[in-house]
A = this chain, B = another copy of it.
Amino acid sequence: MYQSNLFTKTTKHTPKDEVSKNANLLLRAGFINKEMAGVYSLLPLGLKVHNKIEHIIRAEMNKLGGQEINLTALQAKEIWQKTNRWDNKDVDVWFKTNLQNKSELGLAFTHEEPLTNLLKNHINSYKDLPKYIYQFQTKFRNEARAKSGILRTREFVMKDLYSFHASQEDLDDFYEKVSKVYQTIFKKIGLGDKTYKTYASGGSFSKYSHEFQTETESGEDIIYVCQKCKVAVNDEIKKEMLVCPECNHQKFAKIKTVEVGNIFKLGVKFSDKIGLLYKDEKGELKPVVMGSYGIGLGRALGTVVEVNHDDNGIIWPADVAPFKAHIIAIGDNKDLKKAKSLYNKMIKKGIDVLLDDRINLSVGQRLSESDLYGIPHRFIISSKTKGKIEYKARSSKTAKLITESEAFKKVI
């Protein structure tokens, strides 16, 4: 893309009432727009990053055998009453609304109930199990306070996967698979080193659930990381856990984190109340055994920014960067022509590249913007570099002169 075409502009001003680093940088860079507290739109560069995260997660869901669907936000109250999750005193994050005939509807904050209900039409027998069903869908949560930028918002896309099994053992196996896949996902989006599988309290059907917690100073959570095996326990269950649940080591480090994912064994909690039953091999009717597995995409994106930035801007990990390469033409039309030639060659090789063709703007402004955008590889084309390209990785402090073929090696 030519940068002169991009409709968004950057700004040097720190947005009012925005204390979080993630929203600050993303707003200044024009990746997102703040509609109101806790409600952010995705602008072209923000949507590109969001799509790359979505793409990474979808590939992993499909590898697990997941089937993608898209449930609605609008919810009728009857199903939620069956599980005692309709009343605002039971669930405090509902947004409610009304049809013209005054019947009350809710905006889904999660989708266990409608999915369990609709599967009654599709699951009859143990032969229909297991099934893994996921979506990327907009959740609405009426958070009382929204203060962490895009880490905790009132409207966001969640990847929610639900699994349906004929037995607890089958759920247990799949749950372990998802746990590993989640670690792969967080690694791919650039959070691998700082994300810990964290034991959390379970429910009626399992002693523990698990959170995936990413270390960052801005985190709202506290976890305790085992200094031997790097498994963690969350604050809530720490007092009952004197040793690491996996390796029995006794030394933990206390750190601040953001929860970027969670996995939970639901057991028959929902299938029992909603009546999602299957016939086992003996012909007996039994409730389906379920698990649920979530990742909020906006929160993942915001956490990537919290973890990867410096004073000058964002430093995107390669696989989620809005572009892989940023070519900047500095000087006159001759330099621009050379820059376009490199741009075209990179586009032909399938490299996602942004060309700053705005040769009439000040160099200082353009380099500041480049740092703010945080594209991993920067190539400056200028007559001063005598046929070479000035290369700088966004994560590095120093630039160097390289040849065109060396430039390609950086991005392929």
Measured CA separation A133–B97 after assembly (Å): 30
Inter-chain contacts of A71 with B (CB < 8 A):
35, 41
Interface size class of chain A, counting residues whose CB lies under 8 Å from the partner chain:
35 or more
A10 → chain B closest CB, angstroms = 10
The secondary structure that dominates the A interface is mixed
Inter-chain contacts of A379 with B (CB < 8 A):
none
- The answer to whether B33 touches A67, judged by C-beta atoms less than 8 angstroms apart, is no
Indicate if A42 sits at the interface (CB-CB under 8 A): yes
Indicate if A118 sits at the interface (CB-CB under 8 A): yes
- Copy number in the complex reads 2
Measured CA separation A50–B68 after assembly (Å): 12
Measured CA separation A142–B41 after assembly (Å): 23
- The answer to whether B69 touches A6, judged by C-beta atoms less than 8 angstroms apart, is no
Inter-chain contacts of A47 with B (CB < 8 A):
68-70
- The answer to whether A41 touches B7, judged by C-beta atoms less than 8 angstroms apart, is no
A82-141 contacts to B, CB under 8 A, are 95-100, 105, 107, 114, 118-119, 121-123, 128, 131, 133, 138, 140
New A-B pairs, 16, CB < 8 Å, besides A7-B122, A35-B118: A7-B67, A7-B131, A7-B133, A9-B122, A40-B72, A41-B71, A41-B118, A42-B69, A44-B68, A47-B70, A74-B140, A95-B97, A95-B98, A100-B142, A107-B107, A138-B138
What are the 8 closest A-B residue pairs judged by CB atoms, nearest first? A42-B70, A7-B131, A41-B71, A95-B97, A33-B118, A97-B97, A36-B76, A44-B67
